[in-house]
Amino acid sequence: MEKLEVLHNNNKINARVRKNSIWKSIFFLSTLFGLVVLVVLITRVLFQGLSWIDMDFITGRLSTNADIAGIMGAILGTVWVMLVVIPVTLIIGVGSAIYLELYSKKGIIQSFIETNISNLAGVPSIVYGLLGLTVFVRLMDFGNVVLAGGLTLALLVLPILIVSAQEALRAVPGHLPEASYGMGATKWQTIRRIILPAAIPSILTGSILSLSRAIGETAPLTVLGIPALLIPFPNGIFDTFTALPMQIYYWTIDASLVAEYANLAAATIIVLLLILFILNSVAIFIRNKYQQRY
Amino acid sequence: MATNSESNLNSAVNVSELIAQNKKKKSINNYMEKLVPTILFLLASITVLTTIGILYTLISQAVHFFMEVPILDFFTGTELKPLSQNPEFGILPLLNGTIISSLVAILVAGPIGIMSAIYLSEYASDRVRRILKPLLEVLAGIPTIVYGFFAFTFVTPLIRSIWPQVEATNILSPGIVMGVMIIPMIASLSEDAMTSVPNGMREGSLAMGTTKLETTIKVVIPAAFSGIMASFVLAISRAIGETMIVTIASGSSKNFTFDLTQSMQTMTAYIVEVSGGEAPAGSTLHYSLYAVALTLFVFTMIMNLLAKYISRKFREEY
């Protein structure tokens, strides 16, 4: 009788243990699911677009003829937009972070601004497009030029940059500024000479990541009415432009008209992903190389 | 000696100058000490201006729309025919498309995301986690336009080869791809919530003779429940606001239907269509853009606040 019960119990335990290991495999496979999709996506894009990439494609002008179409205009457009986004987000973002972390007193104003920033981070990017269209393109009458696109994207990625810069400043250990104050330095001197230099690697990492977010954004640009075909190369911030994501967008939706456009879209995706990959590697490199332990 | 005394003499002469210089430096410093915080405050207030700008833009333009289309008709109308002779502006077809695509996305991302989170926080060794987690986060860094391309040129044809009734543009394929896009969000946030459950609770449960699975389901998940819920709500909000995947792959038919195989339009895709088209400024069509965007904004805002509320209100303190 007792022996039977032990046997019965053993069976029960074995069943529970087996259930555990079965579910463990299911959990593991779920984790792999996303990665499998990632691999399929990348091989698919490479397979479709890689043979279309050559120097002529990179340096060529846009064209409705798929055989000679190139993306130099879109690359230059992306570069010009970044030349607007980088200084604007860096100055506003790092400035705001310094104010919030080091100057503002804990209170209503600070918590109001911080709540506001975290809310802004959740606003859909297309709404920023409408803001840009109404304020920069129409109200300030820039037209759909580099400046309008750059400012719109800058506002879009600003919350991300502020939060990461705040974290970077917070990570600077307290004894550094204290030593500086002890030497008789003023607050701004301490920030400029001690705290900022110590935080710069992390700030750079955050900036590059938010920058790569701006490079990949499409929705706000479609709302701004950024064209994708047959415009001259941009030469400054008041020129009309197109950008890599816009090019992918137009070639994808027009692929039903001209089948080769799908391949051009894939080729452009490869270029875009390559740029993002390089930027991310740089960010990781900076983080690993300059990450100081105090 | 001579040079020394000379320099002494010189410095003695210059002391008053030095003091003056120092005073000047100090006053510049004092000036900077007051100026810098003011400038930085102005920079920080740009984010507040952005919010005001968004609200002002959406509301001031949407008001024009609601003067021409009654608010009740807008929210209860099942017909959206902005370009016809007698245009009708009911938002229900768009709400329908938005909600259905987000539901598909969360049905894909919810189970997979939470199971990934369980694996990463409960089962995976440190080494495996350090490899898998950043790889998973690559998914979140891929531009949505790339996902749109993938949905349209790969996932839709794949679905159609299995299920031929599915239209060339449909709501199912972008829903699934959006789900893939938000997997890392759910996985990462849920994993954070589960990792922050103290080990003592796990060990107590395991010491009672439970298996890891039982501990996870009966102890860890209930303890991390608020964090997991918050991650779901945030992910849904992200799906509601997502634009390029649905613009490319779900078409522009303003169908009011629940049939996943059909083409539907979401709020975001409508905004792209109308703003990219030839809506003359000042027309009802043009203003409808802002009414839809305002609805979208309110929707996502509510979801974001809800997520914050859930994770704050129901956070278990250990």
pLDDT band, residue B2 (cuts 50/70/90): very low
- Which band of pLDDT confidence, cut at 50, 70 and 90, is reported for residue B260? confident
Where in chain B are the domains?
20-68, 76-314
Q: Could you tell me if A38 lies within 8 Å of chain B, comparing CB atoms?
A: yes
Judge: B46–A138 Cβ closer than 8 Å, yes or no: no
- pLDDT band at B278; cut points 50, 70, 90: low
pLDDT at B42 over 80: yes
Return the amino acid letter for B227: G
CA-nearest of A292, A246, A242, A254 to A73 is A242
Nearest to B54 by CA among A222, A116, A162: A116
Residue in chain A lying closest to B275 (CA): A223
Q: Do A27 and B123 touch (CB under 8 A)?
A: yes
**B271 vs A30: CB contact, 8 Å cut-off?**
no
For B191, the token pair is 């994993």
As a whole number of Å, the CA-based R_g of chain A is 26
**Structure tokens of A278?**
């390089």
Give the model's pLDDT for residue B269. Answer: 92
A23 touches chain B (CB under 8 A): yes
CB contact under 8 A, A158 and B149: no
Question: Is some CB atom of chain B closer than 8 A to the CB atom of A277?
Answer: no
Pick among 3.30.230.10, 3.40.50.180, 1.10.3720.10, 1.10.760.10: CATH of B76-314: 1.10.3720.10
Residue numbers in B near A222 (CB within 8 A): 243, 247, 272, 275-276
Q: Does A134 touch chain B (CB under 8 A)?
A: yes
Do A70 and A59 form a contact (C-beta atoms < 8 A)?
yes
Q: Give residues 165 to 194 of A whose Cβ lies within 8 Å of B.
A: 186-189
Tell me the HSE value of A141 on the side-chain side, using a 13 A CA sphere: 0
Q: Would you call B257 exposed, middle or buried from its count of C-beta atoms within 10 A (0-12, 13-18, 19+)?
A: middle
Per-residue pLDDT, B1: 43
Q: Between the CA of residue A23 and those of A12, B102, B129, what are the distances in Å?
A: 17, 27, 18
Using CB atoms, which residue from A40, A96, A216 is nearest to B47?
A96
Least confident of A65-69, B145-149, B187-191: A65-69
β partners of residue B80: B89
Closest listed residue to residue A160, CA positions, set A77, A96, A253, A107? A96
- ipTM (interface pTM): 0.91
- Show me where the domains of chain A are located: 1-50, 55-292
Q: Assess contact for A34 and B136: CB atoms under 8 A.
A: yes
Closest to A271 (Cα-Cα) out of A26, A56, A75, A4? A75
Contact A122 B139 (CB under 8 A): no
DSSP 8-state code for residue B293: H
Q: Would you say A234 and A146 are in contact if contact means Cβ atoms under 8 Å apart? A: yes
Chain A to chain B Cβ contacts (< 8 Å)? 243
Supply the pTM of this predicted model.
Answer: 0.90
Residues 152-181 in B contacting A (C-alpha not used; CB under 8 Å): 152-154, 180
Q: A17 vs B36: CB contact, 8 Å cut-off?
A: no
CB < 8 Å from A in window 80-139 of B: 111-112, 115-116, 118-120, 122-124, 132, 135-136, 138-139
A55-292 in CATH: which number?
Answer: 1.10.3720.10
The HSE-up count of residue A276 (CA atoms within 13 Å, CB side) is 23
Distance CA A86, CA A78 (A): 12
Mean pLDDT in residue range B124-130: 92
Tokens 């606040």 sit at which residue? B305
Alpha helices (H) along chain A: 2-49, 55-59, 72-98, 108-121, 125-132, 146-170, 175-182, 187-190, 196-216, 219-224, 244-253, 260-290
Distance CA A168, CA A283 (A): 14
Instruction: Report yes or no: B256 at the A interface, CB cutoff 8 Å.
Output: no
**Interface residue of A116, A166, A252 to substitute, partner B, most B CBs within 10 Å:** A252
- Facing A92 at nearest CB: one of B46, B139, B268: B46
Q: What's the 3-state SS for A33-78?
A: HHHHHHHHHHHHHHHHHHHHCCHHHHHCCCCCCCCCCCCHHHHHHH
| pLDDT at residue B4, rounded to an integer | 53
* Cα B307 → chain centroid: 12
Helix (H, G, I), strand (E, B) or coil at B246: helix
Tell me what pLDDT residue A217 has. Answer: 92
Report chain B residues whose CB lies below 8 A from the CB of A205.
none
pLDDT at B6 (0 to 100): 53
| Encoded tokens for B1 | 């000696």
Q: Considering only residues B219 and B260, tell me which one the structure prediction assigns the higher pLDDT.
A: B219
Interchain CB distance below 8 Å, B115 and A103: no
pLDDT in tens, B213-231: 999 999 999 999 999 999 9
**Residues near A6 by beta carbon (within 8 Å), at least 6 away in sequence:** none
Q: Write out the two tokens for B206.
A: 């395991």
What are the pLDDT tens digits along chain A (294 aa)? 567 777 778 888 888 999 999 999 999 999 999 999 999 999 999 999 888 888 888 888 887 777 788 889 899 999 999 999 999 999 999 999 999 999 888 888 888 999 999 999 999 999 999 999 989 988 888 888 899 999 999 999 999 999 999 999 998 988 999 999 999 888 889 999 999 999 998 999 899 989 999 999 999 999 988 877 667 888 888 888 889 999 999 899 888 888 888 999 999 999 999 999 999 899 888 888 877 665
pLDDT of residue B10: 58
Query: A124–B211: do the CB atoms touch at under 8 Å?
Result: no
Is residue B9 pLDDT above 60, yes or no?
no
* Residue B8 in this model has a pLDDT that exceeds 70: no
Contacts of A162 in chain B (CB under 8 A): 47
What are the b/e assignments for A110-149, b being 16+ CB within 10 Å?
beebbebbebbebbbbbbbbbbbbbbbbeeeebebbbbbb
Amino acid of residue B318: Y
In sequence order, what are the beta bridge partners of B81?
Answer: B88
